[in-house]
């Protein structure tokens, strides 16, 4: 069973969060549905960019991508290509954005680790206990720097920019 913490961040919060991550580990970011099979520099503001995947390089893993071609639904012709990150059994932290501007969301943003079950232990090549310690330190930072705010059917930990947005503060 995985571990998660509900979170809401605005761009300024994402920058602070990324700075925190970089202060604790050597990390690289990936987009889930990316225009190229490479890491990204930061949490791009493109709405189709979420979720993101954070790889702490202390946990060995080689990123691989599946190339996906898609069609124009109107013409039936080729419309483009994207690359989907393969994440099965990978030592990754998933960050999904919270829908801050939705009036009544029923699902929210989160930081999630798909903690592999003990039955899958032979398929996992990284130190789960050490990753758990890293995830715990991230969740602790979120709770220290955030505040729980009710938003629709969700109650994420809101970092300062998100809290101001949800509470209509300047």
List the domain range (segments joined by +) for residue 136. 3-60+90-166
The reported pLDDT for the residue numbered 55 is 97
The reported pLDDT for the residue numbered 121 is 60
In a domain, 110, yes or no: yes
In a domain, 65, yes or no: no
In a domain, 47, yes or no: yes
pTM over 0.85: yes
In a domain, 82, yes or no: no
Q: Where are the beta strands (DSSP E) in the chain?
A: 3-8, 27-31, 33-34, 52-56, 65-71, 78-85, 92-96, 110-113, 147-148, 157-158
The reported pLDDT for the residue numbered 69 is 87
In a domain, 85, yes or no: no
Number of domains in the chain: 1
Mean pLDDT by 10 residues, the chain (170 residues): 91 96 96 88 80 95 90 77 89 92 89 78 82 97 96 94 88
């Amino acid at each position: 069973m995985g571990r998660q913490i509900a979170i809401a961040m605005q761009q300024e919060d994402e920058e602070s969060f990324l700075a925190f991550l970089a202060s604790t580990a050597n990390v690289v970011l990936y987009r889930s549905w990316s225009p190229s099979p490479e890491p990204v520099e930061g949490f791009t503001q493109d709405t189709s960019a979420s979720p993101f995947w954070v790889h702490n390089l202390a946990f060995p893993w080689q990123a691989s991508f599946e190339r996906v071609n898609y069609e124009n639904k109107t013409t039936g012709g080729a419309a483009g290509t994207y690359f989907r990150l393969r994440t099965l059994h990978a030592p990754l932290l998933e960050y999904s954005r919270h829908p801050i501007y939705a009036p009544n969301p029923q699902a929210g943003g989160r930081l999630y680790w798909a903690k592999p079950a003990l039955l899958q232990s032979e398929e996992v090549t990284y130190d789960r206990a050490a990753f758990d310690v890293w995830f715990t330190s991230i969740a602790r930072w979120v709770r220290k720097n955030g505040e729980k705010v009710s938003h629709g059917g969700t109650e994420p930990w809101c970092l300062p920019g998100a809290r101001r947005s949800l509470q209509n503060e300047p």
